[in-house]
Amino acid sequence: MAGRLEGKVAIVTGAGSGFGEGIARRFAQEGASVVVADINGEAAERVAADIGPAARAVRADVTVMADVRDMCAAAEAFGGLDVLVNNAGYTHRNGSMLDIDEEMFDRILAVNAKAIYLAALVAVPMLRARGGGSIINTASTAGLRPRPGLTWYNASKGWAITASKSMAVELAPDNIRVNALCPVAGETGMLHLFMGEDTPEKRAQFQASIPLGRLSRPDDMAGAALWLASDEAAFITGVALEVDGGRCV
């Protein structure tokens, strides 16, 4: 039986670990050819090698246009582009908003906001050439229900949600769907930053705020991204999908 992304070509950023790795692996399992893009080139190579011939690794800083062009060129080598997952993200440690220096602030906005803009400049013409496609931006529950301690990160994810909705309306005539994924804190390399410190007590505190009683996992995000990328979601655009175990209720 053909997979739900059979014959599709996808780019997943931040795919060397965490949510991005989970999404890249699931897409490949469902028949897609996948560009595994990550600022950590070795991590990207590891994931792509494990996936096999259906994957290409690209070392890419998503805030640099030359790197964005390189990762999109890798998709062209597969024949084009059908799905773009802007998953790469960055955050500051949980704490006072006044303790975040300008360099950190700029990096957060560059990775979480500017990268979506840069990718659109290159990817949208590619999607148009295929007659449409899907863009998925990884946002966060932090952009929907912000809490103290992550103010500038929260703001960047609110930007991603608003951008996704506006992109969805503007690109709808091109049959390009744009949606945002909004995970709750999950089992990724940035978890200790979201919590401020990774201790059993902190984990218990975070888990207690999630009705389903656990943190998010890469497979949760992979399943949601797969659905949004597939033809099953052909009439879904402009949605900020909460993948949060009920956290935003």
pLDDT in tens, 155-168: 999 999 999 999 99
Cβ atoms within 10 Å, residue 6:
10
Q: Which amino acid is at 151?
A: T
Mean pLDDT of 212-240: 96
The C-alpha atoms of residue 236 and residue 130 are separated, in whole angstroms, by 19
Model confidence pLDDT, tens digit, residues 30-74:
999 999 999 999 999 999 999 999 999 999 999 999 999 999 999
The reported pLDDT for the residue numbered 192 is 66
Half-sphere CA count of 83, side-chain side, radius 13 A: 32
Structure tokens at 89: 């993200």
**What does the pLDDT read at residue 108?**
97
CA 196 vs. chain centroid, Å, equals: 22
Tell me what percent of the residues of the chain surpass a pLDDT of 90. Answer: 86
For residue 57, the model assigns a pLDDT of: 98
Helix (H, G, I), strand (E, B) or coil at 47: helix
The pLDDT of 108-114, averaged and rounded, is 98
The answer, yes or no, to whether residue 194 has pLDDT greater than 80, is no
Is residue 153 flagged as an active site residue?
Answer: yes
Residue of 78, 153, 159, 194 with catalytic role: 153
Closest C-alpha to 10, from 63, 110, 86: 86
Indicate if the alpha-carbon torsion angle 112, 113, 116, 122 is positive or negative. Answer: negative
Cβ-based neighbours of 1, under 8 Å, separated by 6 or more? none
- pLDDT of 1 reads 63
